Amino acid sequence: MTKGKLLLAVVLLVQLVCSVFFVSEIVLTIFNVRARPISWQTRELMEIGATIGLILGSVIGGVYLRNSLRRTAAAEQKLKAASGAFMEVMEERFDDWGLTPAERDVALFAIKGMSIQEIAALRETSEGTVKAQTNAIYRKAGVSGRPQLLSVFIEDLVDVDDRVRIAAE
């Protein structure tokens, strides 16, 4: 367990104990259960300690939340950069393969996982036309089918991710 996680666990435990302190007082009063009397000074010190514990827990929780939101924003920024870079790589591949505009559309839909029927409906063409276009795409890309086409782009995505990570460092 890292120091940060340990600190967070301790803070949560302290907050739980402090909350139980305040709630138990209310519950004992409701059920008319009397605890052994303690001096008012001791009682005040316990309440001040519990209050400080809850305030510190809230402050530390806020710091953790702020840091978490920052990390999330940074991850989203990296994802956007990788996505943009991936689109550039995909366009470069399409250019290298010499795909027509129609084949580019079909290839993009195929990479997104759409079926022949769905692609045909979206492009308002026949399934036979889409099949012919996918065969042309596979031939130009030097692959035998959709799984191999996807693997080409997965390899590119991994390469893009490495380049984005290196550029960010």
Q: pLDDT tens digits for 38-74?
A: 888 888 898 898 889 889 888 988 988 899 899 998 8
Tokens for 90? 């995909």
- Cβ pair 50, 21 in contact under 8 A: yes
User: What pLDDT, on the 0 to 100 scale, is given for residue 162?
Assistant: 55
Task: Go through the domains of the chain in sequence order and give each one's CATH number.
Answer: 1-75 (no CATH), 98-169 (1.10.10.10)
pLDDT in tens, 93-130: 899 999 999 999 999 999 888 999 999 999 999 999 99
- Cβ pair 88, 163 in contact under 8 A: no
State pTM to two decimals. 0.51
Question: Dihedral of CA 105/114/144/87: which sign?
Answer: positive
Which residue is listed with tokens 């909350």?
A: 19
Which of 17-21, 56-60, 72-76, 158-162 has the least mean pLDDT? 158-162
- The pair phi, psi for residue 125, each rounded to 5°, is -130, 175
Neighbour count for residue 24 (Cβ, 10 Å): 12
Which of 3-7, 100-104, 131-135 has the least mean pLDDT? 3-7
